[in-house]
Amino acid sequence: MSQDEHFTILLVEDDENDALLVQRAVRKNLITNPIHWMRDGLEALDYLKGIGKYADRQKFSFPEVIILDLKMPRMNGLELLAWIKENPEYRVIPTIVMSSSRLDEDVARSYLLGANTFMVKPSDFDVLAKMIKTIHEYWSISVKPKK
């Protein structure tokens, strides 16, 4: 799989085991793009804005895709989606909700707030690896407007 060091993946997930599984699925697919793990929406906001410890855009480049959990402390995924929707310069970032929730209201609200897709976290690692491969293949070839 090709690498683009400018194709940064922002993973926003509070559960360490889930985050490690996503990172493992990335490696299994030989995806070598940078992946930065944020533990909640507030940390993701700092990253997106490039403030605090994320101010160095050489080290913490603007993400090309966000993989977002919904249920997190401090600022949950729906709140982060709402913030992104209110800030047009960030709406261009494809946002994939990956949640254990199957609630119709979570799915509907995610799309209403601008999520590009909603995926239910699989319990099977091979299914997760296939999901990550599909996400990467699709979004890495998609053309987006310049920031």
pLDDT tens-digit profile, the chain (147 residues): 444 556 899 999 999 999 999 999 999 999 988 999 999 999 999 999 999 999 998 899 999 999 999 999 999 999 999 999 999 999 999 999 999 999 999 999 999 999 999 999 999 999 999 999 999 988 888 877 765
What is residue 2's predicted lDDT score, i.e. its pLDDT?
Answer: 44
Q: What pLDDT does residue 139 have?
A: 87
How buried is 35 (Cβ within 10 angstroms: 0-12 exposed, 13-18 middle, 19+ buried)?
buried
Q: State the pLDDT at residue 7.
A: 82
Determine the pLDDT at residue 1: 41
Residue 145 confidence (pLDDT): 73
For residue 72, give both structure tokens: 């997190």
- Give the torsion through C-alpha atoms of 90, 92, 98, 99, to 10 deg: 50
Q: What is the structure's pLDDT at 141?
A: 82
Angle between helix axes 16-28 and 125-141 (nearest 10 degrees) is: 70
pLDDT for position 26: 94
Look up residue 34 and give its amino acid.
P
Q: What per-residue confidence (pLDDT) applies to 140?
A: 83
Contacts with 110 (C-beta within 8 Å, 6 or more apart), sequence order: 70, 77, 78, 81, 97, 99, 118
| Domain over 8-141 is classified CATH 3.30.565.10 | no
Q: Please check whether residue 98 is in contact with residue 67, taking contact to mean a CB–CB distance below 8 angstroms.
A: yes
